[in-house]
């Protein structure tokens, strides 16, 4: 098949952002655009979504939030330091 040139205009800031997203996905912008056209034709519509996941939350912070939620669910989120130490001592015996 013969190739043809397709051109269009877009804002420079949008192009720069698109190039950055494509680079993070491991492709370049022309490859992405070819993928779009190919799938558009194959599916006779827009069939897919390519999104980057949000940046992962700090694992330590996530663990603390999980511990707080579990403590709240078990009714122990309001324990004093003395009560916590007493529980630890009892568990060690």
Count CB neighbours of 27 within 10 A: 15
At residue 47, the pLDDT reads: 78
Does residue 48 lie within any of the structural domains?
no
Does residue 85 lie within any of the structural domains?
yes
* Rounded-to-integer distance, Cα 74 and Cα 49, Å: 40
Give the containing element (helix H, strand E) for 59.
Answer: helix 59-73
Does residue 53 lie within any of the structural domains?
no
Does residue 49 lie within any of the structural domains?
no
* Rounded-to-integer distance, Cα 1 and Cα 38, Å: 13
At residue 53, the pLDDT reads: 75
At residue 34, the pLDDT reads: 92
* Rounded-to-integer distance, Cα 50 and Cα 31, Å: 13
Does residue 1 lie within any of the structural domains?
no
Range of the domain at 71: 59-92
Does residue 6 lie within any of the structural domains?
no
At residue 25, the pLDDT reads: 92
Does residue 86 lie within any of the structural domains?
yes
pLDDT tens digits for range 30-78? 999 999 899 889 989 877 776 777 777 788 888 888 888 888 888 888 8
At residue 27, the pLDDT reads: 94
């Amino acid at each position: 098949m013969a190739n043809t040139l397709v051109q269009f205009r877009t804002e420079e800031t949008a192009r720069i952002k698109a190039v950055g997203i494509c680079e993070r996905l491991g492709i370049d912008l022309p490859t992405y655009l070819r993928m779009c056209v190919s799938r558009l034709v194959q599916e006779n519509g827009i069939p897919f979504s390519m999104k980057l996941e949000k940046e992962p939350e700090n694992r330590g912070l996530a663990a603390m939030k999980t511990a707080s939620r579990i403590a709240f669910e078990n009714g122990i989120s309001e324990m004093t330091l003395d009560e916590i130490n007493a529980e630890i001592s009892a568990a060690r015996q």
